Structure 1
Amino acid sequence: MFGLKSSKARRGRDEGEKPFWISFSDLMTALMVLFLVSMAVALMAITQKQKTIDDTIELRKKTIEQCLADVKGVTDQPQFKGVTVHGNSIDFGTVVQFANGLHSFEKPADEKFIRSFVPEVLKVARAQSCEAWLKRVVVEGFASRAGNYLYNLNLSYLRSQRVLCALLNSQAPDAIAEADRKLIQTLFLVGGSSFNTADNDGAARMRRVEIKLEFRDFGSKADPVPDIPLDPGKTCPNDQR
């Protein structure tokens, strides 16, 4: 009787003294599982982030394509026949030309054509298909091979400026609306070319002007809209000649 009781008491003490720590192998297994879960979560986050970036890049591409398609739709209108779109450039070709060796328009109708066409492009620029990524619009004039490099570089720049003068002219009977002129001031820049980019179609083709749409790169932020007082548009600093 006494022996049996002693044996039970001893077993009770032994069981109470067993350590509560898990084995080393169980610990390593738990750590491995924790590591795998952490890696899975991290990979999911990276994959999701990359998918978001890829989706945004694809959306930018499609948005710009739609923007240019809308501009192409403008040039397809009968009244704008002869104006073409190649890449992100609007080429006026021989529809609007400058006098030979000068930066004045060849015909008075050319200036009116510019003022009727550009507001249609501005409608596209304001649309969702363009506004999100459109950075600026560059007016680029051209000059033929006649004359030296610097002369033609300056001439092509003056031709670009002449286009801006025509667009901002508030005294013309067909003057552009004030809201459009404000947008032109904040969005348009002038550029110049020269005979280093001469066209193979001849000198007449080089007395032309192009409008180029430039879009923001992916990841870049839109520039703040500059607060520029609206030019009264009464005079052009670029003298007609």
Structure 2
Amino acid sequence: MVGARVVLKRGGRDEAEKPFWISFADLMTALMVLFLVVMGVALLAVTKNVTEKEKREEQHRKDIELILDRFVKAAKRYDGIKVDRDRHVIDFGDRARFAFGKSNLTTEQEVVLRQFVPEILTVANDELGKRVLKRVVVEGYTDKTGSYLSNLNLSLQRSQRVLCSMFAASGLSLLSGEQKESVRSLFLVGGYSFNAAKDTDEESRRVEMRLEFLGVGEQRPEAPEQSGNFGECALK
């Protein structure tokens, strides 16, 4: 009995270690599954955000087309006034044409402008207009005769002349005080010399109103608090 050998099983060590390696493998599998779930949720969220952004952009494009439809409809009530949908421009054609080297408008031309501007204000100040339209830029143009700087000054005066007709205190089809306040907050004067000249000099001596639209999610700036005090036109 003394010489009996005690046999130790070496497999006991392997069996003791085996549960650890199984648990580690399960942990890695669980982490991988968790990673895949997190990535799937993230990709879903990104896709959803992109889809919503695309929907907002598409609705914004539709709103712009809709407000252009309204301007086109208003322009059809006045001979010679057209809306260029591609350029977002209201073209007055012969109804606001200038003589060579002059910035003066005839009485009839001023009346036409004062009759049409309320149409612009009506569209601009409804729910859709406030959501889409940023401002209206009055752009004067000249023909190619003369120097660049002299024509730049002339084109600016022609733009200013249109605004002066809006704030006239005498004459036909005068704007109300409320309408003048809207013009002051919504309209902007711009001069463009002989850039974008037309085929003929007569057609080039014109004035246009360019419609600027808000971006997606952008809001029209609040007009500063002003009341009356429109002053008199500096142009003679």
TM-score between both structures, scaled by the size of structure 2: 0.84
Rounded Cα–Cα distance in structure 2 between residues aligned with 1:84 and 1:132 = 23
Q: CA deviation at 1:25?
A: 2.0
1:40-119 maps to which residues of 2 (within 5 A)? 40-77=40-77, 80-86=78-84, 87=86, 88-105=88-105, 107-119=106-118
Q: Percent identity?
A: 42
Deviations 1:81-110 (A, max 9, x none): 1111112000001122223311111x2110
Letter in 2 for 1:83: I
Is 1:143 the equivalent of 2:142?
Answer: yes
Q: Name the SS for the 1:137 alignment partner.
A: strand
What residue number does 1:152 align with? 151
Rounded Cα–Cα distance in structure 2 between residues aligned with 1:214 and 1:25 = 62
Rounded Cα–Cα distance in structure 2 between residues aligned with 1:89 and 1:148 = 26
Q: Name the SS for the 1:94 alignment partner.
A: helix
Q: Name the SS for the 1:196 alignment partner.
A: coil
Rounded Cα–Cα distance in structure 2 between residues aligned with 1:146 and 1:20 = 92
What residue number does 2:12 align with? none
Deviations 1:5-47 (A, max 9, x none): xxxxxxxxxxxxxx79962222122111111111111111111
The answer as to whether partners of 1:171 and 1:234 remain within 8 angstroms in 2 is no
What residue number does 1:10 align with? none
Letter in 1 for 2:61: K
Is 1:226 the equivalent of 2:223?
Answer: yes
What residue number does 1:210 align with? 208
Rounded Cα–Cα distance in structure 2 between residues aligned with 1:155 and 1:52 = 47
Rounded Cα–Cα distance in structure 2 between residues aligned with 1:179 and 1:95 = 25
Alignment length, in residue pairs?
217
Q: CA deviation at 1:183?
A: 1.3
Q: CA deviation at 1:119?
A: 0.6
Q: CA RMSD in A?
A: 2.1
Q: Name the SS for the 1:152 alignment partner.
A: helix
Q: CA deviation at 1:173?
A: 4.3
Rounded Cα–Cα distance in structure 2 between residues aligned with 1:121 and 1:223 = 16
The answer as to whether partners of 1:186 and 1:228 remain within 8 angstroms in 2 is no
The answer as to whether partners of 1:169 and 1:233 remain within 8 angstroms in 2 is no
Rounded Cα–Cα distance in structure 2 between residues aligned with 1:38 and 1:71 = 50
Q: Name the SS for the 1:95 alignment partner.
A: helix
Deviations 1:28-77 (A, max 9, x none): 22111111111111111111111111111111111111111110111111
Q: CA deviation at 1:228?
A: 4.7
1:192-211 maps to which residues of 2 (within 5 A)? 192-200=191-199, 202-211=200-209
Distance 1:127 1:226, change over 3 A: closer
Bigger shift: 114-123 or 141-150? 141-150
What residue number does 1:237 align with? 234
Letter in 1 for 2:40: A
Unaligned runs of 5+ residues in structure 2 are 1-18
Unaligned runs of 5+ residues in structure 1 are 1-18
Q: Name the SS for the 2:93 alignment partner.
A: coil
Rounded Cα–Cα distance in structure 1 between residues aligned with 2:57 and 2:115 = 34
Rounded Cα–Cα distance in structure 1 between residues aligned with 2:82 and 2:172 = 27
Q: Name the SS for the 2:94 alignment partner.
A: coil
Rounded Cα–Cα distance in structure 2 between residues aligned with 1:196 and 1:167 = 25
The answer as to whether partners of 1:185 and 1:230 remain within 8 angstroms in 2 is no
Letter in 2 for 1:226: A
Letter in 1 for 2:142: A
Runs of 4+ displaced beyond 4 Å: 19-22
Q: Name the SS for the 2:103 alignment partner.
A: coil
The answer as to whether partners of 2:141 and 2:195 remain within 8 angstroms in 1 is no
The answer as to whether partners of 2:136 and 2:209 remain within 8 angstroms in 1 is yes
Is 1:191 the equivalent of 2:190?
Answer: yes
Letter in 2 for 1:177: S
